[in-house]
Amino acid sequence: MISIKTEKEIEIMKEGGRILAEIMKEVAEKVEPGITTKYLDKVAEDLVFKFGAKPSFKGYQGFPAVLCVSINEELVHCLPSGRKLKKGDIVSLDLGILYKGFHTDMAVTVPVGEVSPEAQRLIRVTKKALKRGIKKVSPGNTFGDIGNTIQKYVESQGYNVVRELCGHGIGREIHEDPQILNYGKRRTGPEIKEGMVFCLEPMVAIGDWQIKKAKDGYGLQTRDGSLCAHFEHTIAITKNGHEVLTKLK
């Protein structure tokens, strides 16, 4: 069942979203060659508590860290470690926070120093896929409209959307109904209604869309070892359209 949030609840989530966006901005700015992914996790954890929030992921299904840090062919949910970032890597940062009883969630993929034109283009296409999906977020449209738009754009660029992972509803729980695919057919799936809050998160691979477990036992990566990227926003549905809650003003 897809929950409908009140205006007051959405205001709280809006406040949490602004905090999350600020934290993510500060964490992303720390990305540079030579730092460890564990350092980024510590930066994120310190900022979460500084802003009076709690981490959504730490302890969730046994995950022992605050921040998911995935590099190159790694897609999502990878565990921070002593591994050092290298010039030319791309790194996906995924973070959720709990603020005043409600979760918000976002992800970005950033370059580590100077990266290849191919990696730059992948990041650009994935970010644009999210923007295009968000444009379809409006009362009366369906979740199939969103997935179809993301899929068509990504495939037109010669890439593939990962099909085994999806976006999700969010609120008092980090993952709520519905599951939101990044592919599909127009006019299918539940209708989008005012008061819904959910996360859109296209995950895009240069190669095949199939995935497998990463070496750390927590994360997922592309099965063929191809580069992949991930962007995510938390979005609330309003009377006239939508509002991106995790966007810096």
Phi and psi angles of residue 115, each rounded to the nearest 5 degrees, phi first: -120, 170
Other Cβ atoms closer than 10 A to 30:
14
Phi and psi angles of residue 213, each rounded to the nearest 5 degrees, phi first: -65, 140
- The sheet carrying 176-180 orders its strands as 176-180, 167-169, 197-200, 233-238, 241-244
Q: Is 129 helix (H, G, I), strand (E, B) or coil?
A: helix
The answer to whether the annotation marks 233 as part of a ligand binding site is: no
The answer to whether the annotation marks 77 as part of a ligand binding site is: yes
Tokens 């599909």 -> residue: 184
CA distance 165 to 179: 9
Q: Which of 15, 1, 177, 27 is nearest to 101 (CA)?
A: 15
The answer to whether the annotation marks 103 as part of a ligand binding site is: no
User: Which helix (H) or strand (E) element contains residue 125?
Assistant: helix 117-135
Phi and psi angles of residue 103, each rounded to the nearest 5 degrees, phi first: -90, 150
The answer to whether the annotation marks 201 as part of a ligand binding site is: yes
The answer to whether the annotation marks 242 as part of a ligand binding site is: no
Beta pairing partners, 169: 176, 198
CA distance 42 to 65: 9
The answer to whether the annotation marks 11 as part of a ligand binding site is: no
Q: How far is Cα of residue 115 from the mean position of the Cα atoms in its chain?
A: 21
Would you list which residues are annotated within the binding site? 77, 94, 105, 168, 175, 201, 232
Summarize the annotated binding site for substrate as residue ranges.
77, 175
Binding site residue list for a divalent metal cation: 94, 105, 168, 201, 232
